[in-house]
Chains A and B, each alone.
Chain A
């Protein structure tokens, strides 16, 4: 699975995700990537793109949950994304990238690693696979 989230300097947000699915999946199987609110979501607070075991991500409405925690509990992007990844989904199954309208970035995952990259207008950038 591949995905990208972006926010411009006016706070406009968007998210996109694309995948071939799971190796050896059944013909006709649909995963999280094309289910809005599961693998992909964006509203006025944040934009989220998830990757991992699609069935887990759909069951957990992962992308929407990040936005909902920000919307209804007033959490920051990082707090919301970490709760969804480290408390609300089984270990070894999910990762996500997300940006907020304020320009924050979150890239948590509960698998051994996740191919990821990020950058901000002030010059910060990162390309990584595993954690430090």
Chain B
């Protein structure tokens, strides 16, 4: 058998996603897939390949991770990631990150450079500085789009599992299709 790869950018995508939102995301998926294909053809290990591809996805603001992360109810950023190697069952995970550019790489460092599996919040941030991974001010991750979506979610007083428009009762179709408009950035 040969190599195989699969990647995702989030579920819950409404059928009403307008083309101007769909096309850049499809392009981004194609771009990330090509990176993975090239890496596997060059005999990179699956562990390195999945980290490489997820880093690329984290750096693309269209998806809910890294640069495109959605906001908490306080308008802040809290990112999380994990990675696992099937051969050794070794794994690493991080949560509550506010400044780390690529959470998935910090998760891998937890796996490789600590006796633990999971570091979170202040401890994870401190570990990031010890390991010298790239960090930026939290504002780097906050985009206008995500501020708008948080406001929508607050208005509708709901936690959005995606980027749909809040469900208003005046238009029947929207109340029936929970993913009425907007694009998906499911958690």
Interface on A for B, CB 8 Å cutoff? 1-9, 11-36, 39-47, 49, 51-54, 92-99, 101-107, 109, 111-122, 125, 127, 129-130
Q: B45-62 CB contact bits vs A (8 Å, 1 = yes)?
A: 111011101100110000
Query: Using Cβ atoms and an 8 Å threshold, which residues of chain B touch A115?
Result: 8-11, 13, 25-26, 29, 63, 184
Closest chain B residue, CB of each to CB of A57 = B187
Q: What A residues does B87 contact at CB under 8 A?
A: 12-13, 44
Is A47 a contact partner of B54 (Cβ separation < 8 A)?
Answer: no
- Contact (Cβ within 8 A) B33 A127: yes
How far apart are the CA atoms of A20 and B100 in the complex, in Å?
A: 12
Residues of B within 8 A of A (CB): 1-15, 17, 22, 25-26, 29-30, 32-33, 36-37, 40-41, 43, 45-47, 49-51, 53-54, 57-58, 63-66, 68-74, 76-87, 89, 91, 93-96, 102-104, 107-108, 117-118, 120-121, 141, 146, 149-150, 153-154, 158-163, 177-179, 184-187
Decide: A127 and B30 in contact? CB cutoff 8 A: yes
How far apart are the CA atoms of A119 and B153 in the complex, in Å? 36
Kindly report which residue of chain A lies nearest to residue B44, judged by CB atoms: A8
Question: Which 5 A-B residue pairs are closest in the complex by CB-CB distance?
Answer: A20-B69, A121-B2, A115-B9, A13-B86, A95-B11
